[in-house]
Amino acid sequence: MKKIRLIAMIMLSMMATAGYSQIQLGLQAGPQFPLDDFSSGYNTGFGLNASARYMVTEDVAAGLNIGYNHFGTDYDDFSSSLMPITLFADYSLSTNVIRPYLGFDLGLYNFSWKFKIGNTVSKDSELHFGIAPKAGIGYSLNDNMELTGELKWNYVMGDNGNDIDWFGFNIGILYSL
């Protein structure tokens, strides 16, 4: 009987440690600021990002980001966008109501552009590898919802040294299922 109690207690303790494991969905938006060579041809853009995350532990999350970042130019007939599809990991520095965190994204970025000359419209796109270190803060509104703010540096490795990078400031909502 003592063995059954011991096994039951061990099983219950394992279940208790998995109690904080949860799935969260997020949506963020904000201005995107081109850097270096990318800033010489493009203006400040706008970004939208959706994420799904799984809390591996109480302070570590892993997940998937899908985004859309649009950048204009000084020319009305030319624009571009970058669509990141990345895996990410975040580490929370605190699990309190105010939760600062650090993270890292890694994945593919689809760079597409469109320009118009007369009545002819030309479009093209390329797929590149990129990374995005980030720092953010979350503020718990209730048990299921968190307000987030994030600073993210996106670095996309282009062909022949034509790298693309920009700095994004995003705010959003994170919802726990």
Q: Does residue 29 contact residue 47 with C-beta atoms inside 8 Å? A: yes
Write the pLDDT tens digit of every residue in 109-131. 999 988 888 888 889 899 999 99
Number of other residues whose CB lies within 10 A of the CB of residue 122: 10
- Phi, psi torsion values for 76, nearest 5 degrees: -65, -20
* Three-state secondary-structure class, residue 106: strand
The model's pTM: 0.81
Q: How far is CA 99 from CA 18, 86, 169, in A?
A: 20, 23, 17
Question: Above 90 in pLDDT, residue 175?
Answer: yes
Write the pLDDT tens digit of every residue in 43-94. 899 999 999 999 999 999 999 999 999 998 877 788 889 999 999 999 999 9
